[in-house]
Structure 1
Amino acid sequence: MGHREELLIAARRLLEEQGYAHITARDLVAASDTNLASIGYHFGSKAALLNAAIEASFEDWATQLADYVMSDPAATPLQRASATWVAALERLPERHSILQAYVEALAQALRVPELRAQLAEHYRRARTMVAALVAASLGDGADADDPRCRAVATLVIAACDGLALQSLLDPENSPDPDDLAEGLAAVWLASVPQP
């Protein structure tokens, strides 16, 4: 394993243990058994490394959610959308530390254009990934570039982000999976003409 991978592993662990704002470059070097120059060489800055670690953690989470949601070949697109949000809600408590680190990273990114661009690129890749899943779920020959698939992907990501923020700020009163499923069903029933 090279220094890049060692730094990412150490960064992910430290984000969970210490949070974004409290990690120093020396912490990263000590935890990865690398050197300060490796951070600059592989990532450009400590913040870019931490953002890459957050992104890797979210990509792992998204892959787990996708595997779960796409595991039932008979599920309808609406059932898959609901299952995504329900699974995300159920797994939010185990992601609390990385979500908190992400919010801290967002605050930094608002002042640092390079970090903002890095996180914006993460969202572009996430939308493409989710749009591909939506296309597969629709099964009508659409692909990830189909405007419908991209619109649904944007909605799914926005809902997951909103649920994550609510769970961080007010975990006792954030939506539970049943509330979410009922809300989605109510919108669906109100949108579809009844016989």
Structure 2
Amino acid sequence: MGNREDLLAGAKRCLYEKGYARTTARDIAAAAGTSLAAIGYHYKSTEALLNLALYDAIGEMGEKMAAALAAAGDPEGPPLQRFEVIWRSIIDSFQADRQVYAATLEIFGQMDRMPDLRAAFADGIEETRGWWAKTLHDVDVRTDEKTGRALGSFYQALMSGVMIQWLIDPDHAPSAGDLVAALRLVGEESR
């Protein structure tokens, strides 16, 4: 590996160990075994390098989750059964990739000052909304935008809330079974 790759690997290690806001250029250079000047030479700024490291970490996490979800359950099964299987995999990822979720959550409050990062996250959220609608309800947002966005936004909001609960208090955060039970209750009350 060269300095560029070492810096990216070092930045990812720092994200996992220290988080986004607490990682300094010195931390990254030390983790990568390079000089501070190498960050500016290869990435222009520490922020640009950290953002790339975060994108990479999220991409790796997304690939693992996609593989787990593809292997999970019967795609033709009942919706609540698919929902529970999918949520079990997602909650497992909250535990396995806790540092990446925490680093992501850490920068949400800074998004107004990071327009490139904000745009990338907005694109990711939009893509995920479409995935939710298609996976759980077989609704394609390209052909039924209103329904697809409504369903996808609901599940995306649920994911954000459950993720925060798992990061803050995993001992009391809802399980996949708890979410299914809650959906059943809401469904019964709405009749």
Tell me the residue number matched to 1:181.
180
Q: 1:7 to 1:94 in 2, by over 3 A?
A: same
Tell me the residue number matched to 1:88.
90
How many angstroms does 1:104 deviate by? 2.4
Q: 1:179 to 1:31 in 2, by over 3 A?
A: same
**CA RMSD between the two structures:** 3.0
**Which of the residues 75, 97, 105 maps onto 2:99?**
97
Residue 7 of structure 1 aligns with an amino acid whose one-letter code is L
Listed as ranges, the gaps of 5+ residues in structure 1 are none
How many angstroms does 1:179 deviate by? 0.9
How many angstroms does 1:28 deviate by? 1.5
Task: State percent identity of aligned pairs.
Answer: 31
Tell me the residue number matched to 2:155.
156
Q: 1:10 to 1:146 in 2, by over 3 A?
A: farther
Normalising by structure 2, what TM-score? 0.76
**How many pairs does the alignment contain?**
188
Q: 1:119 to 1:40 in 2, by over 3 A?
A: farther
How many angstroms does 1:37 deviate by? 4.7
User: SS at 2:110's partner residue?
Assistant: helix
Residue 153 of structure 1 aligns with an amino acid whose one-letter code is G
Normalising by structure 1, what TM-score? 0.74
Larger RCO (CA within 8 A; separation ≥ 6): 1
How many angstroms does 1:165 deviate by? 1.0
Mapped to 1, the partners of 2:79 and 2:2 lie a distance apart of 41
Q: Is the 8 A contact 1:127 1:157 kept in 2?
A: no
Q: Which moved more, 1:164-173 or 1:60-69?
A: 60-69
Tell me the residue number matched to 2:54.
54
Matching of residues 23-172 of structure 1 within 5 Å: 23-40=23-40, 43-71=43-71, 72-110=74-112, 112=113, 115-132=114-131, 134-135=133-134, 138-139=137-138, 142=140, 146-147=144-145, 148-172=147-171
